[in-house]
């Protein structure tokens, strides 16, 4: 008497045995990619450029930058060819060894943020103030730039 097994019963046994044979390798790959993934996430969190808000008001632009732990002397502001650039460097407070830390999330180093100013802003009258780690720039409008609406014509 010949017993015939259907392919449906035969395949799961192969898949199950193959899965068991490769399970240690699969676990090692999973561990490796988990470590790689956490490493990339840590690198993505490192951002030296400060966060910035730009508001367009009736009087001009109001630009705010977060610069925690920095003083006015650490920051430089320049305007050249209608491009406003805020730059500086956040320096470490003291020389320390890496093994002294259990966790270190603070970043140090040079940064630079640039914004192209619209022609309606008078670059020569930009003012800056800094309080509690927030730099506020006010760029007044000169009143010369006007918005012009353009009507769309039908195509032939």
CATH architecture of 52-94+104-140: Sandwich (2.60)
Q: What's the confidence (pLDDT) of residue 93?
A: 61
pLDDT at 130: 95
* Residue 114 contacts residue 49 (beta carbons within 8 Å): no
If pLDDT is split at 50, 70 and 90, which confidence band does 45 have? very low
Residue 154 to residues 46, 148, 151, Cα–Cα distance (Å):
50, 19, 10
Higher pLDDT, residue 115 or 3: 115
Residue 90, number of CB atoms within 10 A of its CB: 19
Residue 13's pLDDT is: 53
Q: At 153, is the secondary structure helix, strand, or coil?
A: coil
Domain ranges of the chain: 1-45, 52-94+104-140
Mean pLDDT of 98-118: 79
pLDDT tens-place string over residues 66-103: 998 888 999 999 999 989 999 998 876 655 556 666 77
| Mean pLDDT of all residues in 17-32 | 72
Q: Is the pLDDT of residue 135 over 70?
A: yes
What average pLDDT does the segment 48-72 reach? 90
Report the pLDDT averaged over residues 119-136. 92
């Amino acid at each position: 008497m010949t017993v015939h097994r259907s392919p449906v019963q035969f395949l799961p046994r192969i898949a199950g045995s193959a899965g068991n044979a490769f399970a240690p390798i699969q676990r090692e790959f999973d561990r490796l990619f988990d470590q790689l993934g956490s490493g990339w996430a840590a690198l993505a969190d490192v951002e030296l450029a400060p966060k910035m808000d730009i508001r367009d008001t009736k009087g001009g632009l109001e630009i705010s930058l977060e610069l925690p732990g920095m003083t006015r002397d650490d920051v430089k502001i320049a305007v050249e060819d209608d491009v406003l650039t805020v730059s500086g460097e956040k320096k470490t407070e003291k020389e320390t060894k890496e093994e002294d830390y259990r966790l270190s999330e603070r970043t140090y180093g040079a940064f630079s943020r640039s914004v192209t100013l619209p022609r309606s802003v008078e670059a020569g009258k930009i003012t800056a103030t800094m309080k509690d780690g927030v730099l506020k720039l006010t760029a007044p409008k000169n009143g010369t730039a006007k918005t012009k609406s353009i009507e769309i014509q039908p195509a032939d």
